[in-house]
Chains A and B, each alone.
Chain A
Amino acid sequence: MMNLSRSVALISLFLLPLLSFSFSVDNPTDRRVLVLLDDLSLKSSHSIFFSTLKSRGFDLDFKLADDSKLALQRYGQYLYDGLIIFAPSTERFGGALDSKSIADFVDSGRDLILSADTSASDLIRGIALECGVDFDEDSSAMVIDHSSFSLSDGDHTLIAADDLVKSDVILGKTKIEAPVLFRGVAHSLNPTNNLVLKVLSASPSAYSANPSSKLSSPPQLTGSAISLVSVMQARNNARVVISGSLQLFSDRLFRSGVQKAGSPNKYEKSGNEQFATELSKWVFHERGHLKAGSLVHHRVGETDEPAIYRIKDDLEFSVEILEWSGRSWEPYVADDLQVQFYMMSPYVLKTLSTDKKGMFHTSFKVPDVYGVFQFKVEYEKLGYTTLSLSKQIPVRPYRHNEYERFIPTAYPYYGACFTTMAGFFVFSFVYLYHK
Chain B
Amino acid sequence: MAAGVAAWLPFARAAAIGWMPVANLPMPVAPTNKNKRQDELIILNVSGRRFQTWRNTLDRYPDTLLGSSEKEFFFNEETREYFFDRDPDSFRSILNFYRTGKLHYPRYECISAYDEELAFFGIIPEIISDCCYEEYKDRKRENTERLMDDLEDNKDNKPPNMTFRETMWRAFENPHTSTMALVFYYVTGFFIAISVITNVVETVPCGTTPNQRDIPCGERYTEAFFCMDTACVMIFTVEYLMRLFAAPSRYRFMRSVMSIIDVVAILPYYIGLVMTNNEDVSGAFVTLRVFRVFRIFKFSRHSQGLRILGYTLKSCASELGFLLFSLTMAIIIFATVMFYAEKGSSSSKFTSIPASFWYTIVTMTTLGYGDMVPKTIAGKIFGSICSLSGVLVIALPVPVIVSNFSRIYHQNQRADKRRAQKVQKARLARMRISKAGSSTAFLHSKRNGLNQSLELTQLPYYKMKLSPQGSLEEDQQLKKTTSLLESQHHHLLHCLEKTTNHEFVDERLYEQGYLQTALQNFPSQSPSLSSEEGVTGTCCSRRTKKNIQALNATHTHSHTHNLQELSALHIHCGEQQPLNTSRSSLNLMSDESGSLNCKSSGLVTTAIISIPTPPSNNSRANPDAPPPPNPDAPPRPNPGSDVVKISAL
Do chains A and B interact in one complex? no
Which A residues lie at the B interface, using CB under 8 A?
Answer: none
Which B residues lie at the A interface, using CB under 8 A?
Answer: none
